[in-house]
Structure 1
């Protein structure tokens, strides 16, 4: 269960790892729904995509438990890539919104040395 937006915990210290709950809260605060997130590789770059489908849709393919599990795994990857602050900043400030059939994407700036672990 997520916290109401008025009861959000204080902002984490810069450089702190992301948590799945923090990402959930950022999505809820920004768009009032839990959009699907995906990590996508294109032309040697990694992108975090905010898809147009969301947990609260009747047709969404995951349960809340499945969504949270997927979010935990994704957040672990983002923390491993060293991009927590980029993601936190972007989700907290973007004015865009995913549209049906059009995802939003953040080109991740991966610190040197970490990209080779994830990009083939």
Structure 2
């Protein structure tokens, strides 16, 4: 009987609800780790699209940038698999630097307008300053960014 119930759709919705509840509880604790999937969900919750997320070094500061291009665009430069890998890589650094709570708060408090194209043909990103030491022994890995 269970197999018939699972194919009816109700079981799938229940599983989705359970997963959503688990993720919501996890975020309430705002732990130091973050996943690429959580980054994607935070951005979708805020702006309704899977925006490109990058790390950017400007001067002696590091930023998380939510870019204006998004996965749902036909012209987006990454496949869904590449996009997921990109987010996972960014999330690894955020976890290593222990700035996940700052990132969550930064996305939640960012302007509702979000990233996008400006009227003059330019584009705007949402930048979240990260409190990390980029002058340490591995600082040279950021020189190309």
TM-score bucket of the superposed structures, by smaller chain: 0.7 to 0.9
For residues 14 and 115 of structure 1, what CA distance do their matches in structure 2 show?
Answer: 27
Count how many residue pairs are aligned between Structure 1 and Structure 2.
115
Query: Where does 1:75-94 land on structure 2 (aligned, <5 Å)?
Result: 75-94=91-110
1:94 positional shift = 1.5
- What RMSD, in angstroms, separates the aligned Cα atoms of the two structures? 2.2
Judged with a 3 Å threshold, the aligned counterparts in structure 2 of structure 1 residues 115 and 61 are, in CA distance, closer, same or farther, namely same
Q: TM-score, normalised by structure 2?
A: 0.70
Which structure has the highest helix share of the two?
2
The answer to whether 1:104 aligns with 2:120 is no
Query: Where does 1:1-120 land on structure 2 (aligned, <5 Å)?
Result: 7=20, 9-12=23-26, 13-96=29-112, 97-100=114-117, 101-110=123-132, 116-120=136-140
Q: What SS does structure 2 have at the residue aligned with 1:48?
A: strand
1:118 positional shift = 4.8
1:45-97 CA distances to partner (integer Å, 9 max, x unpaired)? 10111100000000001111110011001100111111111001111222240
For residues 115 and 17 of structure 1, what CA distance do their matches in structure 2 show?
Answer: 22
Which of the two has higher C-alpha Rg?
A: 2
Contact 2:32 2:95 in 1 (8 A): no
Q: TM-score, normalised by structure 1?
A: 0.83
